[in-house]
Amino acid sequence: MNVMLFPGSFDPFTRGHRDIARRASKLCDKLVIAVLENPSKQPTFTPEERVELIKLSLINEDLNNVEVMSWSGLLVDLYKQLGCCASVRGLRSETDFRYESEMALANRLLLPGYDVVLLPCRDDLSLISSSMVKEVGLYGGDISKMIPAEIIDIVKEKFSKGRTQ
Ligand code: PNS
């Protein structure tokens, strides 16, 4: 069975992430979406909240080969544990390509059999990022085009709490 890993911080999951999940799920027998820690980012949502947001985002999709989990530790250790054939990541720009290439090289140093499939984003989703969602959301702006409709109320509520704290 071909298992692919879609790792990320997903803080929060965006419409761009969901599009990559949809497309990647067609390339393998099982797709595991894993919430991981990115030490260079300060998360807004807890890992448990992020897992829940991803599950809710996929609730109306017909994706029966997708699992969602969180993992605290190195990506390659999870990859090995799940017996993955590759990871998958979305590419929005040249900057992403550099970042992904460096991350792939680092992961390959840790685990020589490691591989990654880079999927170019859909044109209309290429400007969306979790950081942009957070910036716009924290100032009370409209994030409805950036994140799945299924999670808008929860995400908005989190940001409105952030504004009053
Ligand atoms: O969505 P992001 O923030 O670009 O995802 C980055 C992530 C979480 C995949 C990366 O930071 C990661 O793999 N974190 C786990 C720790 C690890 O294995 N670091 C070495 C990667 S080079």
Mutation test of ligand 1: which of 10, 18, 33, 38 has the most ligand atoms closer than 8 Å to its C-beta? 38
Q: Region 43-70: what's the mean pLDDT? A: 97
Q: Which atom of ligand 1 is nearest to the CA of 107?
A: 22
At residue 117, the 3 state secondary structure works out as strand
Identify any residues that bridge with 12 across adjacent strands, giving them in sequence order. Answer: none
Q: What predicted TM-score, i.e. pTM, was given to this entire model?
A: 0.97
pLDDT of residue 165: 62
For tokens 């499939």, name the residue: 117
Identify any residues that bridge with 120 across adjacent strands, giving them in sequence order. Answer: 91
Asked whether residue 163 carries a pLDDT value surpassing 90, the answer given is no
pLDDT of residue 65: 98
Pocket of ligand 1 (CB under 6 A): 7-9, 36-38, 41, 74-75, 103, 106-107
What's the rounded Cα separation, in Å, for the pair 117 and 34?
Answer: 16
